[in-house]
Structure 1
Amino acid sequence: MYKNIEKQVKLELKDQVDYLDGQVVSKTLVQNNLVSMTLFSFDKGEEISTHASGGDAMVTVLEGKGRFTVADEVFFLEEGETLIMPKGIPHAVYGEERFKMQLVVSF
């Protein structure tokens, strides 16, 4: 079930999370045993350090540009681009500039 977001309303996901100077901001939309969906905003230079997920993690950049490191590979994603980071593989996310993304993890 969705939370923290209006239902039956036309909206843009990138408008559902704000930037904060010097921070990574997250807004959870769905969280259960099968899937989690979260919106993030990254200020330029902010990051989520290397970690591994308990499920496959799909990110879609909604605005700006981010750097995603998966194992030893580096990917630069811009608005509209998507990357799937496999379960159990270490990955990190860095704000090359201010950017927003949607994260969907399926367990």
Structure 2
Amino acid sequence: MVTSTTKLVGFATQLRDLIEYGDSGVRRQIVTKDEKRQAILVCLKAGTVLNSHTSSHDGFITVIEGQGVFTLEGQEIALEPGVFVAMPANAVHSVNAIANLAFLKIVDRHDDCQEHP
């Protein structure tokens, strides 16, 4: 389900039903977006690493399933269901999926959710 509007429209979805792990190791799906922000479901196959990078936008992630390590400005954060991470703009961060890992990432709106190398 993808909802794209200029104004937020109310809806509900079960994120677990949207989780899929692709062959490439990383799968991103925009769940919803408006002119201010977007919510992206990110699914990382076990063993996938997103190397250190930055984003020009503030963001939040909430882990839905799996296990991994999120490194934020040098601090390692254990990822497991229910963990919430706040990322300030321009903070160096990386992700290592130890087991299949799915999280919801909410960021200030930008045109391309494929920001990672």
- TM-score (normalised: structure 1): 0.82
Query: How many equivalent residue pairs?
Result: 103
Q: Percent of pairs identical after alignment?
A: 24
Q: Which residue of 2 aligns with 1:92?
A: 94
For the residue of structure 2 that corresponds to 1:15, the secondary structure is: helix
Instruction: Specify the code of the residue in structure 2 equivalent to 1:2.
Output: T
Q: Which residue of 1 aligns with 2:72?
A: 70
Q: Which residue of 1 aligns with 2:82?
A: 80
Between structures 1 and 2, the one with greater strand share:
1
Instruction: Specify the code of the residue in structure 2 equivalent to 1:64.
Output: G
Instruction: Specify the code of the residue in structure 1 equivalent to 2:38.
Output: S
TM-fit CA distance, 1:54:
1.5
Q: Quick one: which of 25, 28, 32 aligns to 2:27?
A: 25
* Range 25-34 or range 84-93, more displaced: 25-34
Write out per-residue CA displacement over residues 12-58 of structure 1, whole angstroms, 9 at most, x where no aligned residue.
20221301245111101234552121001111110222111121110
Query: Does 2:55 match 1:53?
Result: yes
2:61 and 2:13 mapped to 1: Cα distance?
19
In the alignment, structure 2 segments of 5+ residues that lack a partner are 5-9, 110-117
Instruction: Specify the code of the residue in structure 1 equivalent to 2:77.
Output: F
Q: Which residue of 1 aligns with 2:112?
A: none
In the alignment, structure 1 segments of 5+ residues that lack a partner are none
RMSD of aligned residue pairs (Cα, Å): 2.2
1:69 and 1:55 mapped to 2: Cα distance?
17
Instruction: Specify the code of the residue in structure 1 equivalent to 2:81.
Output: E
2:35 and 2:81 mapped to 1: Cα distance?
29
